[in-house]
Structure 1
């Protein structure tokens, strides 16, 4: 399979997952997402969950539907978002909060290692490829 096709599929898959996650923030998983909001966030936990849900739907939609010329920028913004919400994963681990089946410190710790994967995924699936012909 061609690299361009793999990257497009990865970008669309990431976008679809973000849209799904955003919808879950606003509905059936809202309570579970509250467990990831650090106590130091100056907003109410429920408001934080709702705002991040809207942000995920917007980012996911942009990953799926943005014109090609904006893909790299959208990928950078998505990577920034994944970086910004990482303290929530850390808070869930350090405060021993169970949610999403993460009911042991081991599972919560393992979850921390997935965030860099999301950051890489966002950047790699939206990066501009330069062919060898253009470099010569």
Structure 2
């Protein structure tokens, strides 16, 4: 019986990774909560017009998903590597909203210039990498690939 090394690896995360994971989890819970309350209009502005789903529903569902992902980062530590991959995928999936905001010159979240919106685009891949690094997901995958 083969044990899934990605799931059961003995790799442990260090203090810096754990702190980053907790900060990222808190950030996601806060962002998700803001989707459902005080920043709803700004999140609506980020939903691409080409998306064939009601923008308000997208904002609500993505907020709920962010809260779940944030809480998972904080409390579902036995599956932190899997959660890391899911969070990274979520950051990839919402990237078109950031691109849409840039391409259409939409002001939201204090991003009122093309330069500010472009800088934000650069940080989306950083969030993907942070999700993978802080949960040990990337290290576990690399270890599995090397056969260790």
Q: TM-score scaled by structure 2?
A: 0.83
The root-mean-square deviation of aligned C-alpha atoms, in Å, is 1.6
Q: In the alignment, which residue of structure 2 is the partner of 1:121?
A: 130
Distance in 1 separating the partners of 2:77 and 2:134:
14
Deviation at 1:33, TM superposition (A): 0.4
Deviation at 1:67, TM superposition (A): 3.1
Superposition deviation, residue 31 in structure 1: 0.1
Does 1:19 find its partner at 2:29? yes
What is the aligned residue count? 129
CA deviation after TM superposition for structure 1 residue 36, in Å = 0.8
Unaligned runs of 5+ in 1: none
Runs of 4+ in structure 1 deviating by more than 6 angstroms, as ranges, are none
Gaps of 5+ in 2: 1-12, 141-146
Measured in 2, the distance between the counterparts of 1:49 and 1:67 equals: 27
Does 1:6 find its partner at 2:13?
A: no
Deviations 1:33-73 (A, max 9, x none): 011100111111111000000000000000000032x1000
| Partner residue, 1:29 | 39
TM-score, structure 1 normalization: 0.90
Q: Trace 1:1-136 onto structure 2 (pairs within 5 A).
A: 4-68=14-78, 70-127=79-136
Work out the CA distance in 2 between the residues paired with 1:34 and 1:14.
22
